Chains A and B, each alone.
Chain A
Amino acid sequence: MTAVPSQFTGDTLVKVKNLQMHFPIYKGIFRRKIGAVKAVDGLTFDIKRGETLGLVGESGCGKSTCGRALLRLYEITGGQITFEGRDIADLSGEELRNIRPRMQMIFQDPQASLNPRMTVGSIISEPLDEHQIASGEEKQARVRELLESVGMNPDFANRYPHEFSGGQRQRIGIARALALEPDFIVCDEPIAALDVSIQAQVVNLLQDLQKKLGLTYLFISHDLGMIRHIADRVAVMYLGKIVELAPVNELFTNPQHPYTKALFSAVPVPDPEIESKRERVILEGDVPSPANPPKGCRFCTRCPVAIEKCFDSEPEWRELGGSKNGDNSHQIACHLAD
C-alpha cells in the first residue's frame, strides 16, 4: 500500500451503475415475502480520486444505505460497483476481505460505534490485528502516530471511550478508519451528533487529512451548509433515487430539480434580514413509503410543478445541457428541466 497521489488526479476511483438495495418484508406465520423496501433503487454515479462527493437528502431517502452498500456491508440486490476498475458487487469471503482495507467508514454516532469495554488503543489497533499488518512495538507506535494525526494526545491510548467528549470520540473513530491507510472513506453523517462549535473542528480535521493523505470521501449529510463547504460535487437523493448531481457551486447557484429547490429553500439561514425576505417553497405532505413508491417520478406526489407525464412515466437520468460551467457535469432526473 503506497501513498496515493495527494493532488486531485481526476481518474475514477468508484463507479456505481444502477445500484439497487431492496430489503424484503416478511409477513404471516410462514414468513412469506410480501414486498420489499426499495431503500436504494437504481443509482448511477462515479467518485473521482481525491474528491469529496456530498450525498444529501432527508432521513429515509436511502443515503446511509447507499454508503453501506458501496462498502459491500450488504449483499446488494442488483447493479455494479467498480472500485479501481474491479467489480466488487459479487465478491465474497476472502476476496472481499482483501479489498476491505482500502475502503473504510466513519459512523454517525461516536457513542455507539466505539466499544465501551475496549481501550482507545485497542479500538484503533483492531483493524491492524485483524489484517495482521502490525504487532508488538510497531503496532503501539502506529497507534500513537494515528492518535497524533487526528490531533489527540498519544498517551490517551490506555483510556476508555467514556472518558472523552463527543468530538474527541469522533476523532477516535476517524483514527480507526485511517489505521489501514484506506483510499476511500464513507463518512456517514460524521458531524450530525456533534455541537456546532465542535463540528467545525472535525470538518477541518477531515479536510486536512484529505489533503495530506489524498483520501477520497463520500460525505453523507443532511446539513446543506456543511456540504457546500466540504464537497466538490453533490448528489441529492429522494426516496431511493438520485434526483440531481452537479459540482457544488453549480448545484447551489443553479438548482434545477424541484426537490433540490425546495430542499434549499427549507434550510434556515442564520441571518434575520435574509430570513424575513425569503421566498419559501413549502412542500405539502410527507415522503411516501419506500415500500410502495409512487408510479412515475418519485417526487410527483409533493412536486409543486408536476405535470401529467410525471405521474405516468419515470424520468430518466440524463445530463443537462448548457449548465453555467459549460460542461455537461450537471445531471438530473426530471421531465421538466432543460
Chain B
Amino acid sequence: MGIAALVPVWTVKNLKTVLHTQDGVVHAVNGISFELSEGELLAVVGESGSGKSVTMMSLLQLLPTPPAEIISGSVYFEGKNLLELSTADIRHFRGAKIGFIFQDPMTSLNPVFSVGFQIMEPLREHLGMSKKQARQRAVELLELVGIPSAGDRLNDFPHQFSGGMRQRVVIAIALSCDPKVLIADEPTTALDVTVQAQILELVRDLRQKLGMTIIWITHDLGVAAGIADRVMVMYGGFAVEHADVKEIFKNPRHPYTSALLETLPGHESEGAERLRSIDGQPPDLVIKPVSCPFAPRCAYAQDICRRENPKLTSIENSDADIHEIACWVDIESGSLRK
C-alpha cells in the first residue's frame, strides 16, 4: 500500500463508450485514462449517471453490444489489449485473473444453484480442479470471507443467506481464482451500515493478506476516504479530478469535488443552518459533450468553460504524488490556469 511499483499492472487509455438508445446516442464515457500499480486501491467516485459503472463494465467487455459501443481506447493488462480480445479469449480473464463484484448480491447470484456450485464453477473452469479439490477450496474461501460453519453451508441456496452473507459469497467467488485485479462496483451500497463496516473491514484484511490491486466504485465519499489510496472523481462521463486520497479530501481543486464535499452535512460552518447545495441538474448525456460538463452548475465558470473541454492535467505546486484536474480555472485565485 502506498508504495507504488513503477510498472503499472493495468493501463486504461482514452476509453470512450456510447450507448445507442431510442432517444439518441448517450455519451456515457468520454475519454477515461488511468493506471494502476500493483497492490493499489483506486476509488472511482461519482453520482449516478456519471459513467463509473459503464467505464468498469467496458473494461471487460461486459456491456451488451448493441446498445453499447466502445468507440475508442485501450485497456492493457499483461501485455494484451482487453478490448481487442474475442469473446472466447476474454473469458480466460474474466473471473480468473480479474475478479468482479457487482452491486446487488441478490441479482448477481443465480437463485437456482447452490452457493457451493457457484463458487466451484470458476475453480473448475479456469483452474481445472476436480470436484473434490474445488469443494475443499470453496470451503476455504467461505472461511476466508468469514462465513461461519462454511462446510455445512455449501449446499445452501442464495436465498438462505442474509444480504451481508450473500455479498460475502460474491466476494468469495470473485477471489476464487486468486485474481490479480479486483473490480468492485458499489459492493456495499445495497447493505446496511453495520454490515458495510464488516465488509470494509474484510476487504482491508484481505488486501493485507493477498495484496490485490483493486478498483472500487462508490458514490459514498466516506467509503472512499476509508479504503482508497487514490481517488478519481467522475462527472458526466469525464474524470474531473484524480489525486491521492488525503490530498483530494484536504485540498480539492476541481469546483465539482470541492462543492460535493461541501454539500455533506457536518462540513458547513458552526451555526449555519442550511446545507450548501449545488444548484441545477446533472448533464444530459445525449448532448455531445463539447464543453466542460460541469460548467452550467459551476460557480467559477468562464467563457472558455462553455466552449471547450478541459483536459485532465497535473496541477502545479502540489505536494501530492498525483493531483490532476480537468478544469480551466484555478479555484484558489479564480483566474484561468496556465
- Given contacts A268-B225, A283-B198, is CB(A196)–CB(B219) below 8 Å? yes
**Is the CB–CB distance between A268 and B222 below 8 Å?**
yes
Distance to closest chain A CB from B46 (angstroms): 9
The reply to whether B193 and A58 contact each other, CB–CB distance below 8 Å, is yes
Which of B274, B279, B282 is within 8 Å of A207, CB to CB? B274
Contacting residues, chain B, for A199 (C-beta < 8 A): 263
By a CB distance below 8 angstroms, the chain A residues around B264 are: 196, 225, 270
The interface size of chain B toward A, counting residues with CB under 8 Å, comes to 45
Give the CA-CA distance A195 to B200 in the complex, in Å.
22
CB-based contact B225/A271 at 8 Å: yes
The answer to whether A270 and B196 touch (CB under 8 A), given A197-B263, A226-B265, is no
B106 at the interface (CB under 8 A from A): no
Q: How long is the Cα–Cα vector from A163 to B308 in the complex, in angstroms?
A: 29
Q: Is the CB of B222 within 8 A of A270?
A: yes
Q: Is the CB–CB distance between B281 and A200 below 8 Å?
A: no
- Could you tell me the distance between the alpha carbons of A272 and B47 in the complex, rounded to whole angstroms? 20
Verify A272–B219 contact, CB threshold 8 A: no
Against B, the Cβ 8 Å flags (1 = close, 0 = not) of A194-206 are: 0111111101100
- Are A197 and B278 in contact, with the CB atoms below 8 A? yes
Instruction: Name the distance in Å between B99's Cβ and chain A's nearest Cβ.
Output: 23
Q: A268-B220, A270-B222, A286-B162 are in contact. Are A201 and B197 (CB under 8 A)?
A: no
> Given A196-B264, A201-B277, A271-B225, A282–B192 Cβ distance below 8 Å?
no
**Cα distance A226–B277 in the bound complex, in angstroms:** 13
Of A201, A203, A270, A282, the most chain B CB neighbours within 10 A belong to A270
Contact of B277 among A200, A224, A266 (CB under 8 A): A200
For residue A3, CB closer than 8 A to chain B, the reply is: no
The distance from the CB of A165 to the nearest CB of chain B, in whole angstroms, is 5
Contact with B along A262-274 (1 / 0, CB 8 A): 1101111111111
Do residues B223 and A266 form an inter-chain contact, with CB atoms below 8 A? no
Distance A215 CA – B32 CA, assembled complex (angstroms): 47
CA distance A280 to B198 in the complex (A): 10
Task: Using CB atoms, name the residue of chain B closest to A289.
Answer: B162
* B225 and A286 contact, CB distance less than 8 A: no
For the complex formed, measure the closest distance between the CB of A162 and the CB atoms of chain B, giving whole angstroms: 12
B 278-291 binary contact with A (CB < 8 Å = 1; else 0):
11011000000000
Let me know if B265 and A280 touch, CB within 8 A: no
A58 touches B192 (CB 8 A): yes
Q: Return A126 CB to nearest CB of chain B, in Å.
A: 26
Q: What are the nearest 6 A-B pairs in CB distance?
A: A268-B222, A229-B265, A266-B197, A200-B277, A58-B192, A195-B47
Since A195-B47, A200-B275, A229-B265 are in contact, a sample of 12 more A-B pairs with Cβ atoms closer than 8 Å, ordered by chain A residue number, is: A165-B282, A167-B281, A196-B264, A200-B263, A200-B278, A201-B278, A225-B265, A226-B265, A266-B196, A268-B222, A270-B224, A272-B228
- A residues sitting closer than 8 Å to B (CB atoms) are 58-59, 165, 167-168, 195-201, 203-204, 207, 222, 224-226, 228-229, 262-263, 265-276, 280, 282-283, 286-287
